[in-house]
Amino acid sequence: MNDMSEAASLPSLRIVRLARREDLPALLKLAALAGPGMTSFKPDQAALEARLERITATLDDRAPTAEQGYLFVMEDAATGTIAGVCGIEAAVGLEQPFYTYRKDTIVHASRELNVWSRMLTLSLSNDLTGYSELCSLLLDPAWRGHGNGALLSKARFLFMAQFPERFGPHVCAELRGFFDDNGQSPFWQSLGQHFFKIDFDQADYLTSIGKKSFVAELMPKYPIYVDFLSPQAQAAIGVTHRDTLPARRLLEQEGLRSGAHVDIFDSGPVLEARVADLRAARDSRYLSVNVAADDATAPPIANAEPYLVACLGLSGFRATLVTGRPERRAFTLSPVAAKALGVKQGDRVQVLPLKPPRADVM
C-alpha cells in the first residue's frame, strides 16, 4: 500500500486523541466488531464506562500505577466519526497477575547410552510484571487502508515518547494467536481445555473482566513439554493470527520484537521492547509549525513523505498523518491540519516519518 499517495487523497484528516465519556456509544459499536482472542476490548458497557473513568483518573494523577491506563480513538476530523481504538496500560501485573508462557529449553542426556535430547518447554510466568502494554487495537474494517491502521497504531508511540515518565522501562504487546478455519485454537484444544474444563471464549471473557485467579488455581504448576502437544498445537506456538499480521508488522517497524513469551490461551506471540529504544523515542523531532496560507493554493513540497505529527500536551494530545517534509526547524501544515491538531503558527509539534528508513512498503 502506498501510504503517502492514499493518505494525501483523502478528503479529510483522521485524528487520534484520548477517549472521552461521550465516546461510549461509538466504543460499544466498535467493541462489537472484536473477535475471539481480543480480551482487552469487549462490548461491555459497564467495563467501558469504568475504563473511561480510569483515563480521567490517570490524567489527573489520582490513579495508582497499577490502575493507570490510556485509551485512544481515531476520528474523522470533518465528521467526528470514530473509526478505531487503541490503548496503553501503564504497568501490567501489579494488581491482577499478568500470565504468559515462557519458552524454555531443557536438555536430557545419558552418558551410558550416549544419548541426549533437547526439549522445548512452556512454563507459566509472571516475568513481564511492571511492563507497559500496548492493547485494544481495533480498526473498523470499513476504514482499512489509506494509512489509517498505521496512524492508529503508531500514534501511541508518539504519546509514549512525549511522556516516558508515565510508563515502565519496557513495553509489550500480546498478539492474537492462530485459529483454524473453524475458529478453533489448536493450542487451546490440546492444552488449555484439559485444565480449565471450559471453552476458550469463556476463559477469554473471564480474563477480560479481571477474573484471573482461576489461571493460577488450574494451570499446570510444572513445565509443559511441547512434544506432548498435538502437532497442530506445536505448529501454532508463537504464530500470529492472519488478521493480526498487519498490526504485527507495524509494531515491528517501531522496534518491538518477539521474545520468549506467548499467550497462555492461544499461544499468540508477545512482542517486547525497551521504551527508550522505540523509534518514536529515538527519532522524533520537535519543530515549529508553519501554517500554509490556504489549503487549496499551498504549493506542493518537493520529496514530500507521509509524517506522523502530534501536538504537545497530555490530556489534549492529538496526532494525525500528513504529507510533507521538515524544512530547517519547521514543518508546514495546511490550515485544516493545524486546526485539527489545535496548533497555530509558531507552536511546536512532534514529527516522525510514518515508516523507518528502508522499511518494506506495507
> How far from the centroid of its chain's Cα atoms is residue 88's Cα?
7
Residue 329 and residue 285 in contact, taking contact as beta carbons nearer than 8 Å: no
Residue 186 and residue 112 in contact, taking contact as beta carbons nearer than 8 Å: no
CATH value of 285-353 in 2.60.200.20, 2.40.40.20, 2.60.40.1530, 3.20.10.10: 2.40.40.20
Q: Would you list the domain boundaries of the chain? A: 3-107+120-280, 285-353
Please give the span between the terminal C-alpha atoms of the chain, in angstroms, as a whole number: 5
At how many degrees (to 10) do helices 148-162 and 245-253 cross?
A: 40
d(CA 323, CA 354) in angstroms, rounded, equals 10
d(CA 301, CA 325) in angstroms, rounded, equals 7
Decide: helix, strand or coil at residue 162: helix
For residue 323, count CB atoms less than 10 angstroms from its CB and return exposed for 0-12, middle for 13-18, buried for 19 or more.
buried
Positive/negative CA dihedral, 207, 183, 223, 263: negative
Beta strand 170-174 with 330-333: parallel, antiparallel or unpaired? Answer: unpaired
Residue 241 annotated in active site: yes
Residue 30 and residue 138 in contact, taking contact as beta carbons nearer than 8 Å: yes
Positive/negative CA dihedral, 211, 212, 215, 218: negative
Task: Tell me which residue has cell 485459529.
Answer: 179
- CATH annotation of 3-107+120-280: 3.40.630.30
Cell of 350: 512532534
| Catalytic-role residue among 108, 146, 170, 241 | 241
pLDDT (tens place) for every residue of the chain, 362 residues total: 344 333 334 447 999 999 999 999 999 999 998 865 567 888 889 999 999 999 999 999 999 999 999 999 999 999 999 999 999 999 999 998 899 999 999 999 988 888 989 999 999 999 999 999 999 999 999 998 889 999 999 999 999 999 999 999 999 999 999 999 998 999 999 998 898 888 887 887 777 666 777 787 888 889 999 999 999 999 999 999 998 899 999 999 999 999 999 999 999 999 999 999 999 999 999 999 999 987 654 556 667 899 999 999 999 999 999 999 898 899 999 999 999 999 999 999 999 999 998 744 44
Q: What is the helix (H) or strand (E) element at residue 104, kind and residue range?
A: strand 100-110
Could you give phi then psi for residue 74, rounded to 5 degrees?
-105, 125
